[in-house]
């Protein structure tokens, strides 16, 4: 299993910049897995319900959670609940046991009034925050013990069932693109993809 340092180093390549929230997300993912007694998902052994919303500060946290747990958009084992919170529930798919981790409000409030966030608020992009501001913040954040950074629930039971994946596909009878079953609609007797069906806005805009 990769160490925090290895995940952090690799994570920066994918994430794109150095910031405090991403490595804190890695630590959160590692803490959740430790509590559940599981290792990162090779495929869909774990499922994550991230509570972040579409647009808010410190959203980078979610990338760290993905890097640590292996619950990724690409594997289809993470969804966003859009509660606009830095929290997530990690589920062991086989045992249906779960744990919820939320950023400790005490730590979160300090982070939201930090120099790094002030820079971001004034329009500075994360990669342009001076290293003398970013680095001490990152160092401070990642050196905190888990109970300062997070509130971690006890392990609890869920009735979670993994959504079944589909290998069935059709060729859209309008645009000719391959579309998997769950995205196919029937219109005037033709099998068409969502954008071609015109139903897209209603079904996708959530």
- Name the site residues for Zn ion (rule: CB under 5 A): 19, 22, 60, 172, 174-175, 193, 196
Nearer to Zn ion, 91 or 172 (CB): 172
Minimum gap (Å) between residue 45 Cβ and Zn ion: 27
Could you tell me if 42 and 2 are in contact, meaning their C-beta atoms sit under 8 angstroms apart? Answer: no
Nearer to Zn ion, 149 or 193 (CB): 193
Minimum gap (Å) between residue 85 Cβ and Zn ion: 17
Minimum gap (Å) between residue 37 Cβ and Zn ion: 29
Minimum gap (Å) between residue 15 Cβ and Zn ion: 6
Cβ neighbours around 167 below 10 Å, total: 6
Minimum gap (Å) between residue 92 Cβ and Zn ion: 28
Closest-by-Cβ residue to Zn ion is 60
Residues 6+ apart with CB under 8 A from 163: none
Tokens of 128: 């342009």
Distance (Å, whole) CA 63 – CA 196: 32
Nearer to Zn ion, 52 or 60 (CB): 60
Nearer to Zn ion, 47 or 88 (CB): 88
Torsion 128-58-107-11 (CA) sign = negative
DSSP helix, strand, coil percent of the chain (3-state; round to 5): 40, 20, 40
Nearer to Zn ion, 98 or 196 (CB): 196
């Amino acid at each position: 299993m990769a160490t925090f340092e290895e995940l952090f180093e690799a994570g920066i390549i994918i994430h794109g910049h150095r910031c405090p929230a991403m490595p804190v997300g890695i630590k959160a993912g590692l803490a959740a897995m430790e509590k559940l007694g599981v290792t990162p998902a090779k495929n869909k052994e774990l499922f994550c319900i991230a509570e972040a919303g579409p647009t808010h500060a410190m959203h980078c946290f979610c990338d760290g959670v993905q890097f640590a747990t292996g619950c990724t958009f690409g594997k289809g084992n993470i969804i966003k609940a859009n509660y606009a919170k830095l929290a997530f529930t990690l589920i062991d798919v086989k045992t249906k046991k779960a744990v919820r981790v939320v950023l400790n409000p005490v730590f979160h409030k300090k982070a939201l009034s930090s120099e790094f966030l002030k820079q971001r608020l004034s329009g500075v992009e994360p990669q342009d925050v001076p290293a003398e501001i970013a680095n001490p913040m990152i160092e401070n954040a990642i050196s905190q013990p888990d109970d300062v950074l997070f509130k971690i629930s006890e392990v609890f039971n869920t009735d979670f069932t993994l959504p079944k994946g589909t290998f069935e596909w059709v060729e859209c009878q309008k645009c000719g693109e391959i579309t998997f079953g769950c995205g196919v609609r029937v219109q005037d007797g033709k099998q068409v993809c969502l954008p071609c069906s015109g139903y897209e806005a209603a079904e996708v805009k959530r």
